[in-house]
Amino acid sequence: MSTVGHFITMIGVLAFYTTIFEAHLEKKITYYLFSLVPRLNKRICYYLLKIISLQAQQVSLGIVPNKRTRTIIIDGLAA
């Protein structure tokens, strides 16, 4: 059983080194499209947007008068 596992592992290692060798022969340029950086950048932008929108809501809610003031304004407009 361990011999079969060893052969499977060696096939995987051989495939890995073959891929590296082939990329070296073709002079492929490596780029990090699927790295953590774009995802992290997207999350940071999302959370910054959420923080800014929550702060804007708090400011706008602070401007809204309380119920007593609203009734005074409505009664003053109706009179």
Per-residue pLDDT tens digits for 8-63: 999 999 999 988 888 777 776 666 555 555 666 777 788 888 888 888 777 666 66
Per-residue model confidence (pLDDT) at position 44:
79
Q: How many CB atoms lie within 10 A of CB 51?
A: 10
Are 43 and 51 a contacting pair, CB within 8 Å?
no
Task: Quick: pLDDT tens for 30-43.
Answer: 665 555 556 667 77
Which sequence spans correspond to the domains of the chain?
A: 1-30, 34-79
**In whole angstroms, what separates CA 59 from the centre of its chain?**
26
**Core vs surface per residue 11-31: b (16+ CB within 10 A) or e:** eeeeeeeeeeeeeeeeeeeee
Residue 7: pLDDT over 70: yes
Rounded-to-10 torsion of CA 43, 48, 50, 55: 170
Per-residue model confidence (pLDDT) at position 76:
75
